[in-house]
Structure 1
């Protein structure tokens, strides 16, 4: 279980050179390759050429790997083709089909140049409803920046050999089996494995695996079963590389959650605390259910004595991930602060991933980069707004308001007088204050 396909691993290692070429085309080596091998076209259209160097041969050998993992992070939208480039989150390229007589070619054609917002009518005209929702879930940056290539299997958008290896191994296995299959390169593999008693062999050897490897094996089998049911009942399925990556990500999230739960039993329960005297605190939270595109955000503003000042609950119709809805909660909180014309405020969220992504200036977050850009811009302009982390137990009021927004699908804002559904939670938060 721990052995590697050497050829696939070599492709993943060579991919680092190609990634440097793609992510930093203005570097000296990038300009040299551009001048020699593809002066009149893009990297994706470049050919081997005459008398190519060994390094150039190696980079081109890994190009299919790049195509499987690279995705555009939308910036000024002028470089990205709607039909030929990967830019829609969690949407395989084979699902994108250009309608007859369609005049839209670039992603910039789908965006209002003045408001820098999507044009919903145009998007719903050329895409089916499920893909249109994914497009509308991409938050566009208000700042002008160039389109950027990102490594989609990693949430920070940076190339990692580990995730590249999984994609490369799948590609290598497909090439080996394609001559013996009929449409599905893995069909013959599974048929032969079951003929030689794969189930019995797997069960026998699984008992000798380390605990960590056995957990990964079970998670992948569960993902295969879920993928089979999705195909049978919903007509949707994931590719092999996406299946493995998502199942290992679920296992990592589950392991982290178990560690948090164990540590929480040994520590006293934390409660909400106000900001220092004279400073107000705004707690925000997001609500999102996987496999849907609907979410909700909520927030509550209180002063140094714990007294209620304002609150909001707002549904979010197009959401791509839990992290995105948590970021939208911070954005909605900043909008409330601007509306109330507050000067110094502490904003608390129970999502540490949000704190780190906003503070991480070196990474590119594929699906939320525009949203993160907008939040950073506001925080830069308002230096007396502080963003910090709070445990879930200290964020229960905002969590209830976010759930309300998700369930009710109406937007609410309360000033001075809190709604009845959070009165008990507000009282419980203030009990430790005396």
Structure 2
């Protein structure tokens, strides 16, 4: 839904990789727009027959990105297209035309660039085609993939291991914070301070049995890897759940001014861990039966009217009501009513 709204407003006649900032962009669209500018640097057009890619404006190529040595004059009103240097409806370059227009070095590059045998251009990821994607997975993610924790905590662990959490020390760089820890008001709130050194956290870690962990690492990545090496897998899973709840507690304290007691937080962490383990064990041991055709939802017939019913009661005066909502087979509301109910 959001993508369709932004598309209609900011790039109705183009694609995601060619948006317009607009005259009065929203804060959200401004952030997305500048992120797209950086994202475009990782992609290029893989040209096809009769290509419509702008030769001197767009990033294009075949299996690798094309990089021309010389610069050439282009028209802002009618850009030079790659297809103008191809033989019509063919996967061959017009060699004579290419040699007359481009330098010797660029001629060799262009003629070596293959084109797809289809009459369309496609966006492809440049890094993958150049084989620059690391063949060795990120060790942080290898660790997180083995943990017995919910997906949201794995994502938190990835952000933690890459120093991507909005701590006060990072917000200072953006001019959004003074940098002091909101809980102890003593020291710059870095990743290490927030989860290891803060006086409001030390007691909680001690209560949970993790105070003996060595925290001499200088980076959040090294600290997380070091903690994994010191703990068994199930203990590290619990440790990451505790770190996630510490972060949640900080946000609660900052936004609501409410501090969760240490014993309550530790109990919540253990309950979350044990509950997730039990759920995983149940899911792996239980096979859900497949639904038959008759059990699945089907769109109502054109003559069908659906009725949804709900009720509510106000504790203050004991007044109860029942609401009814009638809709047609398309889900369009055709009638609604609220009926008071007298409770004896």
Length-normalised TM-score, structure 2:
0.32
- Computing the radius of gyration from Cα coordinates, the structure with the larger value is 2
Length-normalised TM-score, structure 1:
0.26
Q: Identify, as 1 or 2, the structure richer in helix.
A: 1
